């Protein structure tokens, strides 16, 4: 034995093993454990799926009541044929897990404020750290809301509960079947392991969607309060007016509404205690992850009177963040009770947007305000009692424990009030929040029936059953659109909506008494709706659902974009003999109606004699632009650069005077004000006190600035719209190598093809309700969430170029022998 060399060598060996078995810090991130990650038998190489992979198999699952056959087509879409409803959800859970396990767990981890547990506290998703994100979601009550829903579904909807339980069993059966080397790629990259799936995670996912679709208010209410304090209510109301001249609401103007059954009473002290009170610099905490303002969607249905076949066509494209793996997963579910196809959420049973043998349905976001803040007065720092209606009321405390990788737990003690959790207090605030105690009131925390509306839509046969199904929907406000084989079309806005007085909840409200509390919920049959209108179509695109004659306040106008709705209705009005191909073209339409209205206003104030020849060159591009924001359009880039520059010229000085975050007014507000008046009250640049700028001065300055950046873009070769916009579909971890970058697609804000940088139509669907349903669909992703699979992003190019897949909606006997069916998975009880 040569002791010394032996020891040195042994230490070297152990040292190397230790080194390669440790996550090494690099920048603000960490490497995987390299030895493990690169091990061909355990690491990422095992996720490199064979190019000629097959998915056939016979799988035994404990507790299946009958047999389930799954036929998988060449796009990797499963067609599930089950003898029992719950078996179908059992297998859906299994399939979601097989193809999307990491994603579905990660999304619920994010929703439940558990990112620090797997990623550590300091990594930065955007401008914020994960600990901030986790604390924000915990304090907003995401877990609390999921628990409330779980409880209420358990008590009231046994059918829904057993579907969600069966689904969870399926997910867990797959997780248990996984050998350690088979866990998805991202677990290995981040170095953690899948845990057991629970029904609560399905509800957490629903909270995630609820936040994404209605949670902007958690930020905008604070910013609006800042703006109101800064400008005073009178100026605020000019900048952020609720008047919209060009609105074309979902329910056409002039529709008569019956008298409201709830007469809301404005508090008497609204002037002194609410609108004109300056609650100071106490309200600026902003969310670390603000839902995208463009979260919206298009849907429309045309009746047989407008189509070539005489049968209705229904279209839907929900606009959400464009991510890989995709939010959506296509599936067909066939049982003795129903035969349904559509896009499902990995994490939830059933189909969310789709069709069945009899009907088709889709959703867009209603945008209604369902989230408010109340300013609470606590007796002391212990936050155990708060002042309400003239007495001290005991608050309960909810404890949220955030586990942090490599560090001690972070504990949140959240006071719970009559309104809801006290989201902001002295422990959770930022430099300007001053320790104010803000309780949040959000319908998302009220429990409800979970996914029951979709569960019943999957099974609905006709208009009546559609109405009954959606009456269960009490989460985020949605515009449910409908068409049936029998020829009906309809749309209804549905959720738990608050009967509000004007401007109620647009700003932080006093929380010391019930005077500012919600006075009631709008009865379901008073929600805006429309069936088989004479014009032959129904549509929605997140605009206000009604004109101001609707007896309830919808919420601040800034929640509602108006231009997509305007152009959709204009185009549909002019169409006849419509075919599914026409509808595909309409979903991909790049016409910019906002620019149509804004360009003449800009040109009116642009005087060529004040510009250089290079600047005139760009103005000419703007003049000659055909108003289509197509892939190669240079005019689209010029228009956007100039418009954005005008906004900066008009507002930057006014908003710069306050250090508090305040959202800028909407483009529509500015445009309409410019159309209406010859000047704009905020034209003067207040940073130049010796000079009084007119609107013309401001626009000239803006044009010159824009032209300078356009020249740079042109020099870089990025003047074409798609290059400038640079659309991408981003991996959930924001890793470029796992994302699809630089996609050649036009469209944008205010355009039917609402594709912006990393946001847009996340699932495009067209359903023609002929006897054998003719349906088309595409989403920017692929059915397999594994970056090592060729099915990971296999739809992305089709999606970008506007190609659709003809959907296979098959009876079982057709599936058995269909040429596009590639694989078969059979499931039976153990």
Partner 1 sequence: MKFFVSIIITAFLGYVIGLFTSFPWWSFAVTSFVVALGIEQSPGKSFFSGFLGIFLMWGIAAYLLDTANAHLLATKVAIILPLKGSYWLLIVLTALIGGIVGGFASLTASYTRKPARRHY
Residues lying near partner 1 in the complex (CB under 8 A) = 1-2, 5-6, 9-10, 12-13, 16-17, 20-21, 31, 34-36, 38-52, 179-181, 185, 189, 735-738, 787-790
161 versus 790: smaller Cβ distance to partner 1: 790
Smallest gap from Cβ 55 to partner 1, in A, equals: 16
- Least distance from C-beta 6 to partner 1, angstroms? 4
- Helix (H), strand (E) at residue 354: strand 353-356
- Taking the complex as a whole, the smallest distance from the CB of residue 776 to partner 1 amounts, in Å, to 28
CA-nearest of 327, 325, 251 to 295 is 327
Bridge partners of residue 412, in order along the sequence: 400
Contact 510, 267 (CB under 8 A): no
User: Is 8 in a helix, a strand, or coil?
Assistant: helix
Query: What is the nearest approach in angstroms of partner 1 to the Cβ of residue 3?
Result: 8
DSSP line for 642-697: HHHHHHHHHHHHHHHT--S--PPPPHHHHHHHHHH-SS-TT-S-TT-TT----HHH
Give per-residue burial for 632-669: e unless 16+ CB within 10 Å, then b.
ebbbbbbbbbbbebbebbbbebbbeebebbbbbbbbbb
- Min dist CB 45 to partner 1, Å, is 5
β-pair partners for 109: none
Distance (Å, whole) CA 519 – CA 228? 24
Q: CA-CA distance, 286 to 76, in Å (whole number)?
A: 41
- Taking each helix axis from N to C end, the angle separating 667-676 and 634-656, rounded to the nearest 10 degrees, works out to 90
State the minimum distance, in angstroms, from the CB of residue 186 to partner 1: 11
Indicate the residue among 36 and 233 with the shorter CB distance to partner 1. Answer: 36
Residue number with CB closer to partner 1 (616 or 735):
735
| C-alpha span between 741 and 736 (Å, rounded) | 8
Least distance between partner 1 and beta carbon 118 (Å): 17
Between 15 and 271, name the residue whose CB sits nearer to partner 1: 15
CB of 212 to partner 1, least distance (A): 27
H or E segment and range at residue 568 = helix 563-573
User: Residue 239, SS3?
Assistant: helix
Q: Tell me what percent of the chain is helix, strand and coil, each rounded to the nearest 5.
A: 35, 20, 40
CB of 179 to partner 1, least distance (A): 6
| Residue placing its CB nearer to partner 1 in the complex, 247 or 738 | 738
In whole angstroms, how far apart are CA 824 and each of 86, 284, 518? 20, 55, 54
| Cis, peptide link before residue 768, omega less than 30° from 0 | no
Q: Which is nearer to partner 1, 12 or 243 (CB)?
A: 12
3-state secondary structure of 31: strand
Contacts 24+ apart (CB under 8 A), 569-573: 569/248, 569/537, 569/539, 570/248, 571/752, 572/300, 572/302, 572/306, 572/537, 572/539, 573/535, 573/537
The least CB distance from residue 110 to partner 1, in Å, is 21
The pair of structure tokens assigned to 224 is 């609006």
Pick the closer one to partner 1 by CB: 6 or 632: 6
Distances (CA, A) of 685 to 476, 702, 791: 41, 12, 54
R_g of the chain computed on alpha carbons: 28
* Distance (Å, whole) CA 782 – CA 54: 16
Give buried/exposed letters for 792-813 (b at 16+ CB in 10 A, else e). bbbbbeebbebebbebbbbeee
Secondary structure (DSSP) of 299-310: EEEE-GGGBSSS
Residue 109 contacts residue 117 (beta carbons within 8 Å): yes
The position carrying tokens 């009967």 is: 499
Q: Which two tokens stand for residue 599?
A: 């360009």
Q: Which of 177, 347, 339, 346 is nearest to 782 (CA)?
A: 346
Write down the least CB distance from residue 16 to partner 1, Å: 5
**Shortest Å distance, C-beta 189 to partner 1:** 8
**Cβ 54 to partner 1, closest distance in Å?**
13
Q: How far is residue 307's CA from residue 487's CA, in Å, rounded to a whole number? A: 11
Least distance CB 715 / partner 1 (angstroms): 27
> Which residues partner with 483 through β-bridges?
360, 489
The nearest distance, CB 176 to partner 1, in angstroms, is 15
Q: Which is nearer to partner 1, 31 or 278 (CB)?
A: 31
Pair 569, 279: CB distance under 8 Å: no
Residue 745 Cβ vs partner 1, minimum distance, rounded to whole Å: 22
Q: Long-range contacts made by residues 624-630, C-beta under 8 angstroms, separation at least 24?
A: 625/595, 625/599, 627/591, 627/592, 627/595, 627/596, 627/599, 628/590, 628/591, 628/592, 628/746, 629/590, 629/591, 629/592, 629/595, 629/721, 629/746, 629/747, 629/748, 629/751, 630/590, 630/721, 630/746
Q: Minimum Å distance from CB 785 to partner 1?
A: 13
The answer to whether the CB of 636 falls within 8 A of the CB of 630 is yes
Residue pair 7/14 in contact by the 8 Å Cβ criterion = no
Instruction: Return the number of the residue (50 or 394) whose C-beta is nearest partner 1.
Output: 50
Residue placing its CB nearer to partner 1 in the complex, 52 or 813: 52
Neighbouring C-beta atoms of residue 99, cutoff 10 Å: 25
Nearest distance in Å: CB 795, partner 1:
16
Rounded CA-CA distance 17/383 in Å is 51
């Amino acid at each position: 034995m040569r002791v010394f060399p032996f020891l040195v060598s042994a230490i070297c060996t152990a040292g190397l093993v230790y080194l390669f078995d440790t996550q090494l810090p690099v920048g603000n991130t960490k490497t995987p454990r390299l030895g493990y990650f690169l091990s061909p038998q355990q690491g990422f190489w095992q996720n490199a799926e064979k190019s000629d992979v097959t998915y056939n198999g016979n799988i035994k699952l404990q507790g299946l009541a009958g047999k389930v056959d799954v036929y998988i087509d060449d796009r990797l879409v499963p067609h599930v044929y089950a003898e029992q409803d719950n078996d179908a959800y059992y297998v859906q859970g299994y399939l979601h897990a097989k193809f999307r396990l990491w994603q579905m767990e990660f999304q619920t981890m994010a929703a439940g404020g558990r990112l620090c547990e797997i990623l550590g506290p300091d990594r930065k998703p955007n401008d914020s750290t994960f600990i901030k994100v986790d604390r924000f979601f915990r304090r907003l009550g995401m877990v609390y809301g999921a628990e409330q829903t779980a409880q209420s579904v358990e008590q009231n909807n046994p059918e829904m509960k057993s579907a969600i339980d069966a689904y969870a069993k399926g997910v867990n059966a797959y997780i248990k079947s996984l050998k350690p080397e088979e866990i998805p790629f991202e677990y290995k990259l981040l170095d953690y392991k899948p845990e057991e799936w629970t029904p609560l995670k399905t509800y957490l996912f629903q909270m995630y969607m609820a936040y994404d679709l209605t949670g902007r208010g958690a930020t905008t209410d604070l910013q609006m309060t800042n703006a109101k304090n800064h400008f005073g209510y009178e100026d605020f109301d000019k900048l952020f007016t609720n008047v919209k001249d060009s609105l074309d609401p979902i329910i056409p103007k002039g529709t008569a509404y019956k008298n409201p059954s709830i007469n809301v009473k404005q508090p008497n002290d609204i002037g002194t205690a609410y609108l004109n009170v300056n609650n100071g610099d106490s309200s600026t905490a902003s969310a670390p992850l603000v839902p995208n303002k463009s979260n919206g969607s298009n849907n429309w249905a045309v009746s047989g009177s407008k189509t070539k076949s005489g049968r209705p066509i229904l279209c839907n494209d929900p606009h959400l963040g464009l991510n890989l793996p995709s939010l959506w997963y296509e599936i067909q579910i066939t049982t003795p009770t129903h035969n349904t196809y559509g896009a499902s959420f990995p994490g939830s049973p059933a189909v969310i947007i789709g069709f069945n043998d009899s009907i088709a349905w889709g959703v867009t976001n209603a945008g209604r305000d369902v989230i408010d803040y109340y300013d609470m007065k606590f007796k002391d720092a212990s936050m155990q009692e708060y002042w309400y209606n003239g007495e001290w009321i005991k608050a309960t405390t909810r404890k949220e424990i955030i586990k942090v990788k490599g560090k001690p737990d972070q504990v949140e003690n959240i006071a719970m009030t009559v309104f809801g959790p006290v989201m902001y207090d002295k422990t959770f605030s930022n430099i300007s929040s001053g320790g104010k105690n803000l309780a949040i009131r959000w319908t998302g925390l009220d429990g409800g029936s979970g996914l029951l509306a979709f569960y019943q839509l999957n099974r609905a046969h006709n208009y009546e059953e559609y109405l009954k199904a959606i009456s269960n929907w009490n989460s985020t406000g949605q515009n449910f659109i409908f068409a049936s084989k029998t020829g009906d079309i309809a749309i209804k806005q549905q959720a738990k909506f608050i009967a509000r007085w004007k401007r109620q909840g647009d700003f932080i409200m006093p929380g010391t008494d019930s005077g500012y509390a919600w006075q009631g919920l709008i009865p379901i049959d008073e929600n805006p709706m429309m069936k088989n209108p004479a014009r032959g179509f129904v549509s929605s695109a997140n605009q206000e659902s009604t004109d101001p004659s609707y007896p309830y306040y919808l919420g601040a106008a800034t929640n509602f974009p108006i231009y997509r709705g305007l152009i959709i209705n204009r185009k549909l009005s002019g169409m006849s003999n419509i075919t599914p191909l026409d509808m595909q073209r309409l979903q991909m339409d790049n016409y910019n109606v906002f620019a149509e209205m804004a360009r003449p206003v800009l040109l009116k104030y642009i005087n060529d004699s004040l510009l250089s020849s290079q600047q005139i060159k760009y103005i000419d591009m703007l003049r000659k632009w055909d108003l289509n924001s197509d892939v190669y359009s240079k005019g689209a880039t010029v228009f956007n650069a100039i418009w954005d520059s005008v906004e900066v010229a008009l507002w930057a000085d006014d908003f710069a005077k306050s250090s508090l975050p305040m959202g800028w007014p909407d483009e529509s507000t500015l445009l309409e004000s410019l159309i209406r008046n010859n000047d704009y009250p905020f034209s003067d640049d207040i940073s130049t006190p010796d000079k009084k700028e007119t609107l013309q001065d401001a626009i000239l300055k803006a044009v010159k600035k824009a032209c300078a950046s356009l020249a740079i873009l042109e020099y870089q070769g990025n003047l074409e719209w798609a290059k400038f916009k640079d659309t991408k579909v981003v991996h959930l971890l924001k890793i470029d190598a796992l994302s699809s970058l630089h996609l050649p697609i036009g469209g944008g804000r205010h355009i039917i093809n609402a594709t912006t940088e990393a946001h847009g139509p996340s699932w495009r669907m067209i359903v023609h309700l002929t006897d054998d349903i003719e349906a088309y669909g595409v989403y920017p992703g692929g059915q397999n969430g594994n970056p090592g699979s060729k099915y990971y992003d296999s739809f992305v190019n089709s999606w970008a170029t506007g190609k659709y897949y003809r959907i296979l909606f098959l009876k079982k006997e057709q599936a058995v022998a269909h040429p596009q069916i590639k694989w078969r998975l059979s499931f039976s009880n153990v």
